[in-house]
Chain A
Amino acid sequence: MAKTKQSATIIEFEREAVPEHATKPARSFWGMFSSEHVAGTELLIGPLFVVHGVAAFDVLAGLVIGNILAVLSWRFMTVPIAIKHRLTLYMQMEKIGGKKLTSIYNMANGLLWCFIAGAMISVSASAVMVMFKVAPPSLDAVLPENPLMVAIVLAVGLVISVVASKGYDSVARFANIAAPWMIVMFIALGLSTLPDLGIHSFSDFWEKAQTVIWNGSNQPGFVKFSIWHVIFFSWFGNLAWHIGMGDLTIFRYARKANYGFASLSGMFLGHYIAWIAAGMLYAVQLQADPGNTTVSPGPLAMSTMGFAGLLLVLIAGWTTANPIIYRSGLAFQAINSKWSRVRVTLFAGGIASIIGIFPGLSMKFLSVAALYGLILMPVGAVIFADHFLVKRMGMIDFFAEKKGIAFYLPPAFAWFLTLAFCLLLNLKYGMQIFFLGLPGWFIAIAIYLGLSYYYQQRKP
């Protein structure tokens, strides 16, 4: 799910359009997506589907539908905008909403990345905890249960933060080397669970899938998932990147809009095979001890793959957390360019490490991931409307840039009012967080267009 190691090119052409000669061939995007979306987060998401009591058909079919919707979102929403202007999300945002609004976006983005990085630090720490024989936190734990666990998470967080503060290149290089290995190890992970689950043929698989792995019974305190939950989670798991337009930064290097289909590799290696493999791994744990419901990737991988499994957990968590902390630091630094990048990266790493000591974050990771996408989605909706609709309705696009406005109110209101509306839908009408992105997107578009029309009539 998480973005891991977008190539170092993301820091090039920060404030200018990518020139034609710097564009990249399709294979770069296929490779980038397949490595970015096989990450530490998959080790949490797969088991959490089982915890939420999803049925076998619902998960296997729902993931296909949701992942295809995600690919189509990249292809038909993100990439056409990316290759038209070839600007980063931040530059597009600055042209539409002004510098001050972009600073708020940076702050929100930086903080949200700390939460995702915190979860990844706890994933890596779960592998270290196995080495120190520390019991994993229980499924319903919110606060840390063991001082040694806190110490391990903080130590792992410190190491990751220090490495991230040293710069991007070495981490990105190692992540690129580890990516093919991680993809193969996830496949091996799934295969290694077959003997424990008593699966020796395809018919065995389908029977065990329905009765043992995804048997449809959810754990107490976790809402029961239907096929709709699976479809919407797999579609909106990367909401911030496709509909939220985060991947403008990457796809501005694409030569054609069809390069958006490269996201197929990430979706089906990471968000299909890896999620299913991780779910099967959790089923092995439950089968051995139905009372052991904790979702802790370290012990899970150790039980079926031994030391190599621990290495997978450690590297998958680390290679995800590291670039996220680095980019979180960059987002904070963008607020004030005088701040030292090393210090803000350490600051971001410190926040992520502190967040990581709370096991509730990992145990509720599906909600955390959905919330992350939802908070950033309205900005993508504004960019979409500005690109496709504003001119057609007789209004001016990139209004803040053209009029020299530092804080353009319509996109700001579209963002904040959409979130308030989603909160209302959640609290008053009980609409679960996994579904809020869809009505939220239409609301954001409507608010932005309505307020832009009103504002531009008054200040032509």
Chain B
Amino acid sequence: MKVLINILRVTAILGLAMILLISVLYASDRLPFDTFRNLLVVASLIWFAGIIAAVRARKITNSKP
């Protein structure tokens, strides 16, 4: 379970890293606006899904005797 929690956390952090990366790419004119804003939504979803799942998984682990 610990491995799963860590995988979920890393996934979430990758979502944040993705937000920064696509922002830098957009700022340097290497990404069109539509792609940028769609990827922002995707990256945000990755963060929230990953971190919420990690929190839930941790809670389940802690509640087990």
A binding-site residues for B, Cβ under 8 Å? 173, 177-178, 180-181, 184-185, 187-188, 191-192, 194-195, 199-200, 305-309, 311
Are B16 and A181 in touch, CB under 8 angstroms? yes
A-B contact pairs, 6 of them (CB 8 A): A184-B20, A188-B23, A191-B23, A192-B36, A308-B37, A309-B40
Give the distance in Å from the alpha carbon of A306 to the alpha carbon of B23 in the complex.
Answer: 13
Interface membership of B51, Cβ < 8 A = yes
B binding-site residues for A, Cβ under 8 Å? 16, 19-20, 22-24, 26-29, 36-38, 40-41, 43-44, 47-48, 51-52, 55
Give the distance in Å from the alpha carbon of A305 to the alpha carbon of B22 in the complex.
Answer: 11
Give the distance in Å from the alpha carbon of A199 to the alpha carbon of B24 in the complex.
Answer: 12
Closest A residue by C-beta to B16: A184
Give the distance in Å from the alpha carbon of A299 to the alpha carbon of B47 in the complex.
Answer: 24
Are B19 and A195 in touch, CB under 8 angstroms? no
- Chain B nearest CB: distance from A41 CB in Å? 21
Are A188 and B55 in touch, CB under 8 angstroms? no
* Given contacts A188-B20, A192-B27, A177 and B51 within 8 Å (CB-CB): yes
- Chain B nearest CB: distance from A440 CB in Å? 42
- Chain B nearest CB: distance from A283 CB in Å? 15
Are B23 and A192 in touch, CB under 8 angstroms? yes
Give the distance in Å from the alpha carbon of A185 to the alpha carbon of B15 in the complex.
Answer: 11
Closest A residue by C-beta to B38: A306
Are A307 and B19 in touch, CB under 8 angstroms? no
Are B16 and A306 in touch, CB under 8 angstroms? no
Are B27 and A306 in touch, CB under 8 angstroms? no
Give the distance in Å from the alpha carbon of A186 to the alpha carbon of B58 in the complex.
Answer: 28
Are B48 and A306 in touch, CB under 8 angstroms? no
Are B26 and A308 in touch, CB under 8 angstroms? no
